[in-house]
Structure 1
């Protein structure tokens, strides 16, 4: 059974007073800070998505699907984007919709296109939430992310203040976070895309934010701490009767979510099968990245950019079976 975490349940009177204080204490200058708002779509009542684009991290921006969920008492952000600018644009989009406090910023995993926007939300003083292993992942990868971001934008003076914001609320088991008549079920996942993935289910609408556990149209990408075996197993466990649609980490939102997952599973199963046969036959990793699973090329966006890496990572895992 999930553990409920009712951190922010306000009475109507308390909430009304808080909103009055917010409006009385907010100057024109504060609102002027929000010059650019992210373009978001309300895909369900109170549930907003900024749809990502196809591209490579540190080469293009606005790649991941990110967004927010509005409850009666407060708001939860689901991933913050790939830079402080992306995070700020998302924060401004939130303020276009609601003055309610932002109580949670939930990171579905450590990767920079989902987390480097955290910095923009520090002023809101939310709880930053992540998988129990995400803090270690930030310790290992955070400095590299910052350095790569600075190299990618050497003339951006704002990069001097760039820093990672690590979640302080770490999730080991299923919990429910309450936004005010809007519970969110947070489910940590075993090693899959990374070793620090989690999903967020908006119980009210049956919308599951999968992070990069699920890719739609975009070729699945095995992270450096991921596992092809673990990922296939995790996909088999997503089938929850309460899920009506998914927001994947990349690609379009879909109500046909079982079909989306089946396509991803097919790619991963084929990759594993061909690699196992290749390894048994004594094949080396070099030719493998060029030859295997080419039948999937036309089915996926970004195949040429990421598939060879998938073969390489999966090879190093499967050769020890």
Structure 2
């Protein structure tokens, strides 16, 4: 991997910037918006999604545009600093507000880009975006969310589809019941580029509030089988920096809970420092890991009592 790519994956390197949004170059024509590798908080204004931007020669693809109008406007200005090509496609990988509410900035464009998501994600956004917008506004404050409105995508992405953006053909995977109720993955084989939304974390404990532990593990095994050099998840990196450690953490969590269930123990066994292993240095470990143990225990206990495999 070249020096430019390594620097970009590390959060620095050549970039195009205008205002507060910085686009770091991953490949020719492919950029990622530098964002906080953190959970949404007042201190980061919810700007935690590393939006993928692909300048295709036939228009611009934007994947997960971010949390609010202000970020979307800054992102659009940064794109304009790179290329005059129109934004033609906006993809929402899953229905978390910090990923999708900046749709509002791109809905103003003429011609209007195609807003695309899986049917499940589009349906979830229709059901709950009003509540999510209100919750994010309460968390971040009215100034941060000023002018943000809900723009719903079309249910245009299905598992097994191909999304053609200029010369780049993306293979589409939709994983139900994984990190969220529905997670869309875009994979460009010729570029060895994988965009997984919230499925992969980097040096941070995964957030499992809406997750299925078993479904998330299955999804990660599926995407890990794809030959890729770059993964854009909650932070960009290589598969070894993102996919492998996220899956290893979830596998360790499942194994710890399964062992405790078999031994007639309780969650304290899984929370011990020995069980935490190599993940204790990850961000939010002290606050997030105990919640993940509780979540995993509830899910796996039901399976265990029904005699279903936990591996």
Same fold (TM over 0.5): yes
Partner of 1:13: none
Distance in 1 between residues matched to 2:249 and 2:180, nearest whole Å: 17
Map of 1:100-139 to 2, 5 A cutoff? 100-124=85-109, 125-139=112-126
Per-residue deviation, 1:300: 1.6
Distance in 2 between residues matched to 1:181 and 1:162, nearest whole Å: 33
* TM-aligned CA distance change 1:151 to 1:115, over 3 Å: same
Per-residue deviation, 1:302: 2.3
Partner of 2:219: 234
Map of 1:1-321 to 2, 5 A cutoff? 36=19, 38-59=21-42, 60=44, 61-124=46-109, 125-156=112-143, 159=146, 161-224=147-210, 226-250=211-235, 252-254=236-238, 257-258=239-240, 260-283=242-265, 287=268, 291=272, 293-321=275-303
Per-residue deviation, 1:309: 2.4
Deviations 1:237-283 (A, max 9, x none): 11345422212223x422xx146423222211111122123334555
* TM-aligned CA distance change 1:295 to 1:158, over 3 Å: closer
Preserved CA contact (<8 Å) 1:211 1:247? yes
Per-residue deviation, 1:182: 2.2
Structure 2: which 5+ runs fail to align? 1-16, 304-311
Q: Secondary structure at the match of 1:221?
A: coil
* TM-aligned CA distance change 1:153 to 1:243, over 3 Å: closer
Aligned pairs, number: 282
Per-residue deviation, 1:169: 3.2
Q: Which moved more, 1:39-48 or 1:186-195?
A: 186-195
Distance in 1 between residues matched to 2:90 and 2:163, nearest whole Å: 11
Q: Which moved more, 1:268-277 or 1:174-183?
A: 174-183
Per-residue deviation, 1:284: 5.5
Q: Secondary structure at the match of 2:223?
A: coil
Deviations 1:33-80 (A, max 9, x none): x97251111110000111221322143232121121011211110111
Preserved CA contact (<8 Å) 1:219 1:301? yes
Distance in 2 between residues matched to 1:102 and 1:234, nearest whole Å: 29
Provide the aligned C-alpha RMSD in A: 2.5
Structure 1: which 5+ runs fail to align? 1-33
Q: Secondary structure at the match of 1:53?
A: coil
Distance in 1 between residues matched to 2:145 and 2:241, nearest whole Å: 42
* TM-aligned CA distance change 1:89 to 1:279, over 3 Å: same
Preserved CA contact (<8 Å) 1:132 1:196? no
Preserved CA contact (<8 Å) 2:249 2:279? no
Q: Which moved more, 1:81-90 or 1:270-279?
A: 270-279
Q: Secondary structure at the match of 1:41?
A: strand
Deviations 1:153-192 (A, max 9, x none): 4452853x43322211332222222222222222212321
Structure 1 ranges of 4+ moved more than 6 A: none
Distance in 2 between residues matched to 1:236 and 1:203, nearest whole Å: 17
Deviations 1:61-114 (A, max 9, x none): 321211210112111101111221111111111111112121111112111221
Larger Rg: 1
**TM-score, reference length from structure 2:** 0.81
Distance in 2 between residues matched to 1:266 and 1:196, nearest whole Å: 21
Preserved CA contact (<8 Å) 1:76 1:105? yes
Distance in 1 between residues matched to 2:78 and 2:120, nearest whole Å: 30
Preserved CA contact (<8 Å) 1:73 1:180? yes
